[in-house]
Amino acid sequence: MPAYRPPRIAASEITPKGIYLSRRSFLGTAAGLAAIGLAGRDAIAAPLAAKPGAYKLDEKLTPLDAVTSYNNFYEFGVGKSDPKEYSGDFKPTPWTVKVDGLVGKPQEFGIEDLLKYQLEERTYRMRCVEGWSMAIPWIGFPLATLLDKVEPLGSAKYVAFETIVRPDEMPGQRGLFQPLKWPYVEGLRLDEARHPLTILALGLYGETLPNQNGAPVRLVVPWKYGFKGIKSIVRISLVEQQPETTWKNSNAREYGFYSNVNPNVDHPRWSQATEQRIGEGGFFGVENRPTLMFNGYEEVANLYTGLDLKANY
Ligand code: MTE
């Protein structure tokens, strides 16, 4: 990832929650749908109903504009504004996710199948290893729900994820400079994948996922650094060995398999002791705050009993 630059999010871009809520009800109307079409912003975003989930944060939500315009999605370019700017041609429908490997019932799921699961709105703290953080109201369902459908075998120890490769629609995958090896891949231990906090997200802020945030389906693991949250997933495989992960492949000294948020283990280039919350206070619209162990999700600590979290960063 390129060296950290202060986020250029203007304070004027802040969308207070009240406006977000009234916008949501507006989006539920025919006028709202027409406005989405006319505005052309995030062309595929459409209202997505979800029950309020148990996971809420007593923290200000990061403004929608910041969530959708300050992104890492290298398939569309390495700049923070590239994903929004260059993902307009990406077609997230039709789409299937293949779930295979060490399972009793391998299956392909269409997005319409995934939308039938009980969707919940969950606001999670998100922390990027580059030093910034956000609070995002995702819409999704526990990954464990999907894993149960395919009946993992006893030999399955890890879950491997893969992003789509579509150079025609993803400008970062064509041309001379290829920043990463494609497809983007990620992985979790099976118990991490089954943890109730781990979700597959289909939407945010009451709408389907914008392309730049990983349409139509992405992983969200709130106690790990953002790069574990693989976007635009086409394949999920249950495997026996620890799977390859994109950033570890790219630079194993800087990025490990676990990537748990840990203020005591600095990245070689960026301190992890504090973070800048985007869209809050300060000259750049950011606020410095201490980073919390497991990003504040202490309930996952028992997954790592006996594991040296300094050696296994
Ligand atoms: N998934 C794919 N396929 N390609 C990427 O480049 N970037 C990761 C992760 N998922 C990335 C990806 C990184 S580095 C981060 S910080 C998060 O997506 C950012 O998610 P957001 O843009 O929705 O905040």
pLDDT tens digits for range 170-202: 999 998 889 999 999 999 999 999 999 999 999
Residue 104 CA, ligand 1 centroid: distance in Å = 31
Q: What pLDDT was estimated at residue 4? A: 35
Mean predicted confidence (pLDDT) in 136-148? 98
Tell me the pairing of strands 286-290 and 274-278: antiparallel
Phi-psi region of 98 (alpha: psi -120 to 50; beta: other; left: phi over 0): beta
Q: What's the pTM?
A: 0.88
Residue 20 CA, ligand 1 centroid: distance in Å = 24
Confidence band, pLDDT 50/70/90 cuts, at residue 285: low
Neighbouring C-beta atoms of residue 89, cutoff 10 Å: 13
Is 6 a residue whose pLDDT tops 50?
no
Q: What pLDDT was estimated at residue 177? A: 84
Determine which of 30-39, 201-210, 244-253 has the lowest per-residue pLDDT on average: 30-39
How far is the C-alpha of 153 from the C-alpha of 192, rounded, in Å? 16
Is 283 a residue whose pLDDT tops 70?
no
Is 120 a residue whose pLDDT tops 50?
yes
Question: Nearest C-alpha to atom 12 of ligand 1 is from which residue?
Answer: 230
Mean predicted confidence (pLDDT) in 50-57? 91
Pocket test for ligand 1, best of 72, 212, 250 (most atoms within 8 A of CB): 72
Q: Prior bond to 167 cis, omega within 30? A: no
Q: What pLDDT was estimated at residue 100? A: 98
Residue 153 CA, ligand 1 centroid: distance in Å = 30
Confidence band, pLDDT 50/70/90 cuts, at residue 305: very high
Residue 169 CA, ligand 1 centroid: distance in Å = 17
Atom from ligand 1 closest to the CA of residue 232: 3
Confidence band, pLDDT 50/70/90 cuts, at residue 279: confident
Give the chain's mean pLDDT.
88
How far is the C-alpha of 73 from the C-alpha of 275, rounded, in Å? 20
Q: What pLDDT was estimated at residue 41? A: 45
In residues, how long is the chain? Answer: 313
Residue 71 near residue 226 (C-beta atoms within 8 A): no
Question: Nearest C-alpha to atom 23 of ligand 1 is from which residue?
Answer: 213
Beta strands in the chain (DSSP E): 51-52, 96-101, 107-110, 120-127, 132-142, 158-163, 185-189, 199-204, 207-208, 218-220, 233-239, 274-278, 286-290
Tell me the fold of 11-304: Sulfite Oxidase; Chain A, domain 2 (3.90.420)
Residue 100 CA, ligand 1 centroid: distance in Å = 23
